[in-house]
């Protein structure tokens, strides 16, 4: 059975390949897809098949998906372009008679009201269901690693700024989500399932400040501010461009609304162990 994984120059794609190989999957049964095959080859095993696949080019996708049984479609990072890109992949998978698609969506995609990313995932989930290809949806919660940059900054300034208003985040490490993708891709019985995946512990920015105090040895406090204040601070003080600052503020709004807090326990069940401790993930990421 050939399992192809997209986005293998990215974090989650590479970790998914690693997790497949750490399980029972042979390297000869894995195909890494990338739009920069040279870069992919630098971080993958030398004996792994790597195929060129650009979500923006149906021709490359047709060639890349030939003979593939299970496709792990790691969602694209081109926010705003993703519905179209994912449609290209799903159409090519239909033409190539791919037997199964595993897609990485976002936690609570259909109930989300504030999340700036949920819309494109819902469109993709609908496209997958309409395609008739047996599908497994992995609605991934937030990565703990998303907070590394703000953690670094907070450890420098002593202040963790946000507009989460005490909202919680049930984050898990990328490696946890990757392991779940590998388990689902390599084992039977997941067709038609939608898994809501999240960490075993939901934490607030105040909790994060305590962790950062522990890790840095200096006092870090969380400071909850209005959306407008946070946006201005990100642009004026941190030098972030307006679009990215707007995205960060919108994510905090989603957190404030509880959209990333859901602790379902489904991730630890799939991977067979508790999700990785938030402090451990941050400590490792901050040390790199
Ligand atoms: N749950 C969360 O907290 C969270 C946070 C951030 C993102 N995400 C989503 O999860 C996905 C995986 O996360 P990640 O950390 O692995 O992201 P990442 O490191 O940014 O990887 C994204 C991958 O998408 C590939 N890609 C982008 N455009 C492409 C195209 N036109 N054709 C083929 N490949 C293309 C990139 O290729 P290049 O290396 O060539 O650019 C890269 O391999 C993201 O793409 C995003 O949809 C989730």
Number of helices (H), then strands (E), belonging to the chain: the values are 12, 9
Per residue in 9-34, pLDDT (tens digit) is 999 999 999 999 999 999 999 999 99
Task: Render pLDDT for 162-180 as a digit per residue (tens, 0 to 9).
Answer: 999 999 999 999 999 999 9
Check pocket membership of 10 for ligand 1, CB cut-off 6 A. yes
Ligand 1 binding pocket includes 103 (Cβ within 6 Å): no
Percent of the chain topping pLDDT 90: 97
Atom of ligand 1 nearest to the CA of 117: 47
How much distance in Å is there from the Cα of 244 to the middle of ligand 1?
A: 16
- Asked if 227 contacts 257 with a C-beta cutoff of 8 angstroms, the reply is no
CA of 7 to the centre of ligand 1 (A): 6
Per-residue buried b or exposed e for 146-181, using 16+ beta carbons within 10 Å of the residue's own CB: ebbebbeebbeeebbbbbbbebbbbbbbbbbbbbbb
91-108 confidence digits (pLDDT tens): 999 999 999 999 999 999
Position 113 scores a pLDDT of: 86
76 CA to centre of ligand 1 in angstroms: 5
Residue 116 Cβ inside 6 Å of ligand 1? The answer reads no
CB neighbour list of residue 124: distance below 8 Å, 6 or more residues apart:
75, 82, 83, 86, 87, 90, 103, 105
Q: Is 74 in the pocket of ligand 1 (CB under 6 A)?
A: yes
Residue with tokens 């972030």: 240
Residue ranges of domains in the chain, CATH in brackets: 3-141+174-197+263-275 (3.40.50.720)
Can you give the pLDDT at residue 183? 98
- Cα–Cα distances in Å, from 53 out to 36, 61, 148, 192, 204? 8, 5, 30, 26, 39
Please choose from 4, 5, 6, 7 the residue to mutate so as to test ligand 1's pocket, defined by most ligand atoms within 8 A of CB.
7
- pLDDT-based confidence at residue 259 (cuts at 50, 70, 90): very high
Residue at token pair 């090519």: 92
pLDDT of residue 216: 95
Tell which atom from ligand 1 comes closest to the C-alpha of 77. Answer: 45
Ligand 1 near 97 CB (within 6 A): no
pLDDT, one tens digit per residue, over 270-288 is: 999 999 999 999 999 999 8
Is residue 20 within 8 Å of 31, Cβ to Cβ? Answer: no
- pLDDT bracket for residue 245 (50, 70, 90): very high
Q: What is the 146 CA–ligand 1 centroid distance (Å)?
A: 13
Q: Report how far ligand 1's centroid is from the alpha carbon of 218 (Å).
A: 34
Cβ of 56 closer than 6 Å to ligand 1, yes or no, is yes
pLDDT at 102: 98
Q: What is the per-residue pLDDT across 123-148, written as a single tens digit (0 to 9) for each?
A: 999 999 999 999 999 999 999 999 99
Residue 114 pLDDT: 82
Residue 185 pLDDT: 98
The CB of 54 under 6 Å from ligand 1? The reply is yes
Number of other CB atoms surrounding residue 101 within 10 Å: 24
* Ligand 1 touching residue 77 (CB < 6 A): yes
- Say if pTM beats, i.e. exceeds, 0.85: yes
* Ligand 1 pocket mutation pick from 5, 10, 172, 180 by most atoms within 8 angstroms of CB: 10
* CA 77 to ligand 1 centroid distance, Å: 4
pLDDT at 238 over 90: no
Whole-number Cα distances in Å, 88 to 59, 60, 91, 276? 10, 10, 5, 34
């Amino acid at each position: 059975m050939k399992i192809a994984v997209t986005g293998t120059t990215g974090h989650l794609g590479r970790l998914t390949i690693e997790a497949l190989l750490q399980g029972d999957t042979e390297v000869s049964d894995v195909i890494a897809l990338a739009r920069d095959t040279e870069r992919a080859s630098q971080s993958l095993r030398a004996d792994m098949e790597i195929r060129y696949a650009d979500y923006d080019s149906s021709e490359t996708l047709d060639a890349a998906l030939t003979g593939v049984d299970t496709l792990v479609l790691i969602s694209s990072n081109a926010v705003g372009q993703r519905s179209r890109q994912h449609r290209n992949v799903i159409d090519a998978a239909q033409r190539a008679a791919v037997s199964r698609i595993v897609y990485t969506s976002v936690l609570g995609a259909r109930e989300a009201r504030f999340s700036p990313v949920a819309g494109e995932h819902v469109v993709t989930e609908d496209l997958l269901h309409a395609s008739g290809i047996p599908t497994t949806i992995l609605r991934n919660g937030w990565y703990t690693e998303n907070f590394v940059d703000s953690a670094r900054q907070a450890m420098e300034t002593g202040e963790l700024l946000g507009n989460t208003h005490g909202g919680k985040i049930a984050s898990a490490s990328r490696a946890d989500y990757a392991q779940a993708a590998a388990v689902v891709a390599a084992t039977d019985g997941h067709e038609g399932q939608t898994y809501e995946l999240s960490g075993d512990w939901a934490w607030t920015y105040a909790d994060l400040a305590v962790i950062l105090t522990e890790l840095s040895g200096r006092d870090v406090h969380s400071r909850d501010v209005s959306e407008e204040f946070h946006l201005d601070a990100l642009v004026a003080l941190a030098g972030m461009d307006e679009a990215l600052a707007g995205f960060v503020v919108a994510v905090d709004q989603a957190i404030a609304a509880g959209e990333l807090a859901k602790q379902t326990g489904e991730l630890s069940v799939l991977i067979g162990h508790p999700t990785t401790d938030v402090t451990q993930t941050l400590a490792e990421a901050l040390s790199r």
